[in-house]
Structures are given as C-alpha cells and as structure tokens.
Copies of this chain bind each other. A is one copy, B any other.
C-alpha cells in the first residue's frame, strides 16, 4: 500500500488521493461493504480503475488506507498533568475507538493490507508523545506500553467474548509503570 506522507497539498497526486478517499467513504456509507468495487470507486472519484490499482494495488489495500486515514488522530493525546493520567486517558480512548464498528472494520482491513506495521507506527507516535512529556518519571518504553496496553485491548476485542474493562486497563498501566 502506497502511503505517501510527503504529498504536496493541492498537487495532482494529493487531489487524486482526496477524491478517491472521499468516494470510498461515501460508497461505504451507502452500500454493503462487500458490494463496493474498485470500478465503482473509480467512477465516483472521476479517475480510471487503473489509477487506483497502480496507486493502491488492490481494494483491500485502499480500504485499509482509508480506514487508517479515518482513525489517524487529528489531535495530540490528552494532557492531564501526569504520566499515569495521560496513559489512562489514552488507553480508555483507544479501547472506545477499537471497540466501535469503524474500529473493528479498520483492524480487519489493516490485516489485509501489505503494511500492517503502519498501524503500530501511529500508535507508537502517540505513546512517544506521552512518554516524552515526563522524562523525569523514567517512563517505560513505547514497545512495552504497546505490549501491555494496545495488545490486550485489540486481542480481547478480536478473540475474546468481552473487551478489557477500564479497571483491567488501569491495572495494566500500574504494571507498566512498575519498572
């Protein structure tokens, strides 16, 4: 999946991306997911199907790109004044987002994409922002926080009968802060 972070805003490439993303989102709102096709998206976006195939590879990669763009947070993680508080706020929001229908669809699409690692890089950037605020607390590493907070949240949503409770997340945060 071609994710071009360095797109020049307003350039042709950025305009194509914007119109294809918009067409995809609109079609997903109006139709069953399984009935949306690349030719439908191309027609609505005013591009040829081959433009889409050339740029995204296939439908699942495009859906993953659109899903990631939607989930990419447009603001910094909340600041509460403490590392524990920031991690709690982040973990609770992450649980909410991933438990939602768009969150579950995103996780499915991202697994089908060729660059699932991009998802973790978004998470990592958010957690890095939080730990960088509290250098004097000797915060845990971002990888450790992903293993202890993001992983149980996602695993339980995908494979268990119930997502973790907020109390459980708080317990995992205490464990992460113990080191």
Q: When the two chains form their complex, are residues A152 and B147 in contact, meaning their CB atoms are under 8 A apart?
A: yes
- Complex Cα distance, B155 from A146, in Å, reads 9
Inter-chain contacts of A168 with B (CB < 8 A):
147
Q: Main SS of the interface on chain A?
A: helix
CA of A90 to CA of B150, assembled, Å: 22
Nearest B residue (CB) for A169: B147
Q: Does A108 sit at the interface, judged by CB under 8 A?
A: yes
Segment 141-176 of A: residues with Cβ below 8 Å from B: 146-148, 150-152, 154-156, 158-161, 164, 168, 172, 175
Q: Which residue of B lies closest to A162 (CB)?
A: B117
- Contact residues in B for A150 (Cβ distance below 8 Å): 155
Q: Could you say which of B108, B120, B154, B161 contacts A117, with CB atoms under 8 Å apart? A: B161
6 more A-B residue pairs beyond the given contacts A111-B158, A147-B152, A175-B175, with a C-beta to C-beta distance below 8 A: A107-B159, A146-B155, A147-B155, A151-B152, A151-B154, A151-B155
